[in-house]
Structure 1
């Protein structure tokens, strides 16, 4: 634990330099977290130092290769950078720029051709991808157009539905108002009917003169009249007979008696009601 704290304090002092180290609570958890940071930082610094050394070594190698090539050009061909004409220098610079863009190690044809082929393949794949994306984009545009048309249709349906709901709401409100009026009127009529019934009861009114009783009496009278019709039809054949035959006279008398009995019963029912 003490070794971890010493290492953490040393690392914090290195990180903050001249600035004071912020105060923190020293416990097992904080020390473990800071110690893990120390290890990660040291590993990262070690990797960075190795990368720097590798880059420095490559720079030295490239510089040595460059010096060697300059010596070869100078001693074998008798050319130097200063003795090159401007077009040759421009071509050489363009060749170097292409080599750097293509990411090749040298400017030999064996290095340029694979790099060019790789970039050509990448270009072909990119064009294929672009064509695929264009097809997908056209399909999306068609679907977007159909979606916009559907959206417009749905919006029109929504507007129609909103207007219809507004009309139905107005009708429903009107029905509610009419219902309230009808309920109030029914209540008023019920109160008046109860008062009228109370007045009739207080005056001992006969129930036979009510509308319902009169209607029932009229129905009974109509029924009796219907019963009389067949009897009158039975008398019709005898009305043309001469008054001399005794049998006809007997039948006529019997029919008259029956008719008189029915008229008497009808009058009694009327008087009784």
Structure 2
């Protein structure tokens, strides 16, 4: 535990340098975590140091190669950077830039050709992917267009349904109001009929003068009138004969009694009303 704490303190001092190390709770978990971080940091720092040394060595090698090539050009060919024309210097600068962009070791044709081939392959793959994406994009646009059409139709159907629902709701409400009115009217008429029936029962009304009885009596009278027509036709030859005085007197008295009975019945009906 003490060795770990010493290792952690040493690593934190190295990381923060002149700045004070922040306070932290010292316990087993925090010490273990910081110890692992310290070990990981040391490994990465070691790898970074090795990489830096390798790059420095390569840089020194490149510098040596560059110096050797300059010496060869200067002594063997008689060329130097100062004696090169501006277009030549521009061509060399472009060649160097291309080599750096392609990531080749040198500017020889054997280094440029594989790099260009790889770049061409990547370009072809990119164009192939582009065409694939364009096809997928066209298909997606068609789907989006169809989806928008379906969405518009659904929205129109929803608006129509809402309007129809509002109309049906208004009709249903109107029918409910009419039903309530009819129910109240039926109840009122039922109560009125009961009151009238009770009133008629209290007055001991004769059922023979009700509308139904009168209508039935009228039908019977019409039937009797139809039956009387042939009888009148049979009696017509006897109408010119002189009547028997005694029989005539009896008929007159009988007719008076029937008339008195009808007058009495008529008076009773008038009084009842």
Q: What's the TM-score once normalised by structure 2's chain length?
A: 0.69
- Number of the residue aligned with 1:174: 174
Give the superposition deviation at 1:185.
3.3
Q: 1:11 to 1:183 in 2, by over 3 A?
A: farther
Give yes or no for the alignment of 1:53 onto 2:53: yes
Pairing of 1:7-26 with structure 2 (within 5 A): 7-26=7-26
- Partners of 1:152 and 1:71 lie apart in 2 by 78
Q: How does 1:64-103 map to 2 (within 5 A)?
A: 64-103=64-103
Residue 178 of structure 1 and its aligned partner are, at CA, apart by 2.2
Q: Tell me the distance in 1 between the aligned counterparts of 2:143 and 2:131.
A: 18
**Once the 2 structures are TM-superposed, how far is the Cα of residue 115 of structure 1 from its aligned partner?**
1.2
**1:192 and 1:73, CA in 2 relative to 1: closer, same or farther beyond 3 A?**
same
Relative distance call for 1:184 and 1:122 in structure 2 (3 A) is: same
Describe the SS at the equivalent of 2:105.
coil
Aligned residues: 220
Partner-residue secondary structure (3-state), 2:15:
helix
- Secondary structure, in 3 states, of the residue corresponding to 2:21? coil
Counterpart residue number, 1:44: 44
Q: CA deviation at 1:15?
A: 2.5
Question: Cα offset for 1:66?
Answer: 0.7
**How far apart, in 2, do the equivalents of 1:195 and 1:25 lie?**
99
Partner of 1:248: none
Per the alignment, do residues 24 and 186 of structure 1 end up closer, same or farther by CA in structure 2, a change over 3 Å counting?
farther
Q: Which residue of 2 aligns with 1:241?
A: none
- 5+ long unaligned stretches in structure 1: 226-273
Q: Which residue of 1 aligns with 2:2?
A: 2
**Residue matched to 2:163:** 163
SS at match of 2:81: coil
Unpaired runs of 5+ residues, structure 2, are: 224-273
Could you state the TM-score of these two structures normalised by the residue count of structure 1? 0.69
Instruction: Compute the RMSD of aligned alpha carbons.
Output: 3.1
